[in-house]
Amino acid sequence: MPDPATYRPAPGSIPVDPGVYRFSDQHGRVIYVGKAKNLRSRLTSYFADIAGLHPRTRQMVTTAANVQWTVVTTEVEALQLEYNWIKEFDPRFNVRYRDDKSYPVLAVTVGEEYPRLFVYRGARRKGVRYFGPYSHAWAIRETVDLLTRVFPARTCSAGVFKRHNQIGRPCLLGYIDKCAAPCVGRVSADEHRRIVEDFCDFLSGKTDRYARELEQQMTEAAEALDFERAARLRDDLSALRRALEKQAVVLGDGTDADVVAFAEDALEAAVQVFHVRGGRVRGQRGWVVEKPSGPSDPDESVEAQLVEQFLTQFYGEQAELGGAADEGGFTGDEATNPVPREVLVPCLPPNSDELAAWLSGLRGSRVVLRVPRRGDKRALAETVQRNAAEALQQHKMRRAGDFNARSAALQSIQDCLGLADAPLRIECVDISHVQGTDVVASLVVFEDGLPRKSDYRHYSIREAAGDGRSDDVASIAEVTRRRFWRHVQDAQSVNAPGEPATTSDVADSAAPAGRPARFAYPPNLYVVDGGAPQVNAAAAALADLGVTDVAVIGLAKRLEEVWVPGEPDPVIMPRNSEGLYLLQRIRDEAHRFAITFHRSKRSKRMTASALDAVPGLGEHRRKALVTHFGSVARLRDASVEEITSVPGIGVATATAVLTALGAGPSAADSAGSAAGEPTLGNDDVAEQVTR
């Protein structure tokens, strides 16, 4: 455990200007990012007596091994730089407000030529606009079903759209006028985009205009005695009103605002935000996060710190997503701007003026940040706060058993193996093959007892296997070398501890030099699927690389024995221990991931092609031919001159390709004549290939 005194900057070396600072651990990983009006005053507070620090702050300063800072001109610049660094480095001690993926949203793919409406769960992507979140997926489908009467936009997938485009007939929705059928050219791409724009404007709050237009058209049709059209417009108007009834009016003055509230306990905090547009609640979001460390400023409360962090992270990300949507063809306005004109919060942070200025820059116009005191806005804020308290309670009830089990598992592993710290990051490697063919390896990562699938890796064994041979022990050693070689290389390029950043880092703050790759961070525990030989091979590979801070064990399948390098006897963990159960889960996940990669690789190898029997045509030239023509069928219809236009393909090879594909004797004869060689019939070629 590092001592903060070992990396404390020299007295007087810290400037008194405003700026942004970051703490890094011994591997160069950024673990905390903060800002300050006075860098010297703020950073000095971290190096006070450890006993007097907040528990989370104490854990952070004892984990860190280096501190760097960047001087800026104003506090608004500090806010922007802090947000950029938190987004880039994802520090473990910073509070992160990530999108809650559990709620469904209505997605509109504005970046496509023919935008599509569909229900979506998951990470936000560029070129897509999102409405919601909604409480249930059926609520989205019901709303879309109502509104497609008025706005017949495309809702089908890309495969369905392409198929109906090929057959020249629309789907059922096209026949019943719930889709404009752009797949068959009933409307152009521009006309369909205007329909989608109107749909998005309606969901964004511009409802009165469309209702008035439909009512006027209905009246005109009735006066013209076109009662069928008037009845259809009446039904459309009724559908719009039913869709509006699903959104409650909470503010009668048509206010555009976001209402934010928090509920907290000793360890965690829940945040709820209601998006109010045109006086109606358009969406609701919620997060549960760990409480930040105690504020360094004595005048700042924990709630004020939560408010500040939420505003910078949430609206910074929403502004980027809104900019991506604008690139897809929609321009922002009052109703669709991700930053509202007013943000209602439970309390104002000390730098509320700077936050308001920063939010105004994101929005492009003035943003008011205030606390509601009376009236409807106060009542709505109390409702949001009750939702936050309920969300926190449900989260605690849902996570209690799982969190306690994971903590007990990590503690059990630490005690049984005699580790200095609990293994917060565990990596496991497994080998998969069939009789020495397609030998692959998998590496899975668990952090805090949960899988981190973004860090999963798979390897094709190069040296220890091939040509029908395989060596699991050597394969384990090869994977270990390849995985930790990156860690060793990046560790050598990290800046020396205690070296502060200069002001020149401002221009390159998004990607500072010496930052290691995310996956290069070493695990606390490295698990191999196997017994003593595999464990000793992995330990020897780590010793050759000079890695000494990673514990290595092996988990044998037969008796679930835990093997430690250099020990003649295994460690026997209790059969009912949470630690053994966690190790089994990690081992089984590595096994599953390895088998999946092995099967995909084997299926690719076993896939046969009509071009495989062509003599002199290797893998790369086969791929070049298929890539150039698109398919084997188009290649069969091509001439010799067209085939020889592909780099690396001569006349003789083109002749053999056409003959193998059965393109006919005329093509082969012309090819042979062009080459100045005697032609061969199909039977002759077959006989030659047989020989």
CA–CA distance, 432 with 430 (Å, rounded to integer): 7
DSSP 266: S
- Mean pLDDT score, 330-348: 72
Split at pLDDT 50, 70, 90, the class of 81 is: confident
Please give the full DSSP string across 608-632, using - where no structure is assigned: --TTTTSTT--HHHHHHHHHHHSSH
CA–CA distance, 255 with 273 (Å, rounded to integer): 15
Q: Which among 239-243, 541-545, 659-663 has the top mean pLDDT? A: 541-545
Q: Is the dihedral of CA 516, 518, 523, 528 positive or negative?
A: negative
The CA–CA distances, whole Å, from 534 to 82, 190, 531, 549, 566 equal 45, 62, 6, 19, 11
Q: Is 630 a residue whose pLDDT tops 70?
A: yes
> By percentage, how much of the chain surpasses pLDDT 90?
6
The two tokens of residue 301 are 């409360």
pLDDT score for 585: 86
pLDDT score for 252: 62
> By percentage, how much of the chain surpasses pLDDT 70?
78
Taking only the tens place, the pLDDT of each residue in 527-547 is 998 888 889 989 999 888 888
Q: Is 447 a residue whose pLDDT tops 70?
A: yes
Task: Name, in order, each residue with C-beta under 8 angstroms of 554's C-beta and a sequence gap of 6 or more.
Answer: 527, 528, 529, 530, 531, 532, 534, 535, 538, 562, 563
Split at pLDDT 50, 70, 90, the class of 500 is: very low
Residue 245 host element (H or E): helix 227-245
pLDDT score for 136: 67
In terms of C-beta density within 10 A (0-12 exposed, 13-18 middle, 19 or more buried), how is residue 373 classed?
A: exposed
- Mean pLDDT score, 100-125: 80
pLDDT score for 46: 87
Residue 138 Cα to chain centre, angstroms = 25
Question: Comparing 54-68, 332-346, 629-643, which segment has the lowest mean pLDDT?
Answer: 332-346
In terms of C-beta density within 10 A (0-12 exposed, 13-18 middle, 19 or more buried), how is residue 167 classed?
A: exposed
The two tokens of residue 109 are 């793919």
Q: Left if phi > 0, otherwise alpha if psi is -120 to 50, otherwise beta: which for 121?
A: beta
In terms of C-beta density within 10 A (0-12 exposed, 13-18 middle, 19 or more buried), how is residue 43 classed?
A: buried
- How many Cα atoms are found within 13 Å in the side-chain-facing hemisphere of 429? 31
Cβ pair 460, 431 in contact under 8 A: no
Residue 406 Cα to chain centre, angstroms = 24
User: For the chain, how far is it from start to end, CA to CA, in angstroms?
Assistant: 72
| Phi and psi at residue 129, to the nearest 5° | -100, 145
Prior bond of 133 cis (ω within 30°): yes
pTM of the model: 0.56
Q: Is 453 a residue whose pLDDT tops 50?
A: yes
Closest CA to 308 of 512, 86, 14: 86
In terms of C-beta density within 10 A (0-12 exposed, 13-18 middle, 19 or more buried), how is residue 376 classed?
A: middle
Cβ pair 104, 302 in contact under 8 A: no
CA-based max dimension of the chain: 98
Q: Is 679 a residue whose pLDDT tops 50?
A: no
The two tokens of residue 675 are 């080459």
Cβ pair 154, 116 in contact under 8 A: yes
Q: Left if phi > 0, otherwise alpha if psi is -120 to 50, otherwise beta: which for 362?
A: alpha
pLDDT score for 300: 65
The CA–CA distances, whole Å, from 462 to 246, 437, 470, 476, 592 equal 60, 12, 10, 12, 21
pLDDT score for 683: 38
The mean pLDDT value of the chain amounts to: 77
The two tokens of residue 34 are 């903060």
Closest CA to 506 of 78, 182, 196: 78
Task: Name, in order, each residue with C-beta under 8 angstroms of 665's C-beta and a sequence gap of 6 or more.
Answer: 681, 682
Split at pLDDT 50, 70, 90, the class of 132 is: low
- Mean pLDDT score, 329-333: 42
Cβ pair 200, 130 in contact under 8 A: no
Split at pLDDT 50, 70, 90, the class of 207 is: low
The CA–CA distances, whole Å, from 359 to 90, 377, 384, 571 equal 22, 21, 22, 57
Strand stretches in 64-159, DSSP E: 66-71, 105-108, 117-120, 129-131
**pLDDT top residue among 20 and 2:** 20
